[in-house]
Amino acid sequence: MNNSYHLNYLEQLESESIHIFREVAAQFEKPALLFSGGKDSITLVHLARKAFAPGKIPFPLVHIDTGHNFPEALDFRDALVNQLGATLVVRKVQDTIRQRNLTEPKGKFPSRNWLQTYTLLDTIEEFGFDCCIGGARRDEEKARAKERIFSVRDEFGQWNPKLQRPELWNIYNGKIHKGENVRVFPISNWTELDIWNYIRRENIDLPSIYFAHERKVIQHEGQLVAISEFVQPDEQDIVMTKKVRYRTVGDMTCTAAVESTAETLEEVINEIIATRISERGETRIDDKVTEAAMEDRKKNGYF
């Protein structure tokens, strides 16, 4: 057998994801791609583009905007949408808080992460989305490691981990009742390192904050948090200027920076290979609360 007819693992993962994207486009009437501006959703967009070329991506990108974004990520989002000629829908958590009279989390690092669910469910209802594509990976977290690629949610968006449909071979059953929706995770089987290697292989552009840069930060329980309009130092905080990069891009209020000198993709990948701390563990400020935090959020309609 000729060796050139062989896909390496990245090519295998890519092919699996493209197959999933095409199933989504064909099986659902109104899918949407949830776009956060982070590397996983940027990779998703890249894969979607490949899946439907030379046509356009046949669904809108939806950004559930917490209002606590990195400005670099927002600029990147707008430029990408522009370049793709894609439709972008932005719905703001701030508006949901006002309309639904929700209580803002308080504290020094007020995370709106959990409130995103309300805005997401409202947006699903507003547009009648029957499928939301997300960039969650199973290697991120152990509740995620349990979720199907096509994950059926009830009309409250809830995940029922004890009643998941069998998902056999590469056959995806997207049949749902009215009001339900499906969350689809095309990069379920990718690891953080796979994403980085793929970004290098495909030459995918990323927001600048993924690379080492100088930033004013404070230290919080061993993690570095950037000073911004959303996070202000207390009297006891020591404000330092450090060379950092971000390993994930979430909200400025709950994403920690990593001290780093990696200015190129190559250097970032080397640091990721060498690290002994997980992506979530190193970057999320709000996630250590309970072991079941993610499972609970998902049961409430979160991604």
Partner 1 sequence: MDLLRFITAGSVDDGKSTLIGRLLYDSKNILIDQLEALEKSTRNRSDGSVDLALLTDGLRAEREQGITIDVAYRYFNTPRRKFIIADAPGHVQYTRNMITGASNASLIIILIDARLGVVEQTRRHSIIASLLRIKHVVVAVNKMDLVEFSQDVFNNIVIDYNGVAAQLGLKNITYIPMSALDGDNIVDKSRRISWYTGKPLLEFLEEVQLDEDVNLTDPRFQVQFVIRPQTGELHDYRGYAGKVISGIYKKGDRVTVLPQGIETTIASVESAGKEVEEVFAPQGAVLQLADDIDISRGDSIVKSDNLPQVSNELEVLLCWLDDKPLMTGNKYLLQHNSRLVRAIVKQVEYKIDVNTLQQQPVEGNVKLNEVVKATIKTATPLVYDSYEKLSEYGSAILVDETSNSTVAAVLIK
**Which residues of this chain interact with partner 1, rule CB under 8 A?**
1, 5-9, 11-12, 14-15, 18-19, 22-23, 25-26, 49-56, 138-139, 141-146, 148, 152, 161-162, 164-171, 173, 175-177, 188-189, 191, 275-278, 280-282, 291-292, 295
Joined together, the tokens standing for residue 11 give 């090519």
State the minimum distance, in angstroms, from the CB of residue 104 to partner 1.
28
Nearer to partner 1, 169 or 214 (CB): 169
E strand segments, 172-287: 181-184, 213-220, 223-226, 240-245, 258-259
State the minimum distance, in angstroms, from the CB of residue 262 to partner 1.
19
The span from the first CA to the last CA of the chain, in angstroms, equals 43
Nearer to partner 1, 159 or 230 (CB): 159
CB-CB contact of 59 with 132 (8 Å): no
Nearer to partner 1, 64 or 195 (CB): 195
Q: Which single residue is written with the structure tokens 């404000």? A: 239
Helix (H) or strand (E) holding 290: none
Q: What residue type is assigned to position 171 of the chain?
A: I
State the minimum distance, in angstroms, from the CB of residue 8 to partner 1.
7
State the minimum distance, in angstroms, from the CB of residue 297 to partner 1.
12
Integer-rounded Cα Rg, in Å, for the chain is 19
State the minimum distance, in angstroms, from the CB of residue 50 to partner 1.
4
State the minimum distance, in angstroms, from the CB of residue 98 to partner 1.
33
Neighbouring CB atoms inside 10 A of 117's CB total: 20
State the minimum distance, in angstroms, from the CB of residue 148 to partner 1.
8
Q: What residue type is assigned to position 267 of the chain?
A: E
Mark out the alpha helices in the chain (DSSP H runs). Answer: 9-27, 39-52, 71-84, 93-99, 116-127, 192-202, 265-274, 279-283, 293-299
Tell me, rounded to whole angstroms, the distance of Cα 224 from its chain centroid.
Answer: 21
* Cα separations in angstroms, 248 against 10, 154, 213, 269, 299: 21, 29, 15, 14, 23
Nearer to partner 1, 51 or 64 (CB): 51
Tell me, rounded to whole angstroms, the distance of Cα 230 from its chain centroid.
Answer: 21
Joined together, the tokens standing for residue 230 give 């959303």
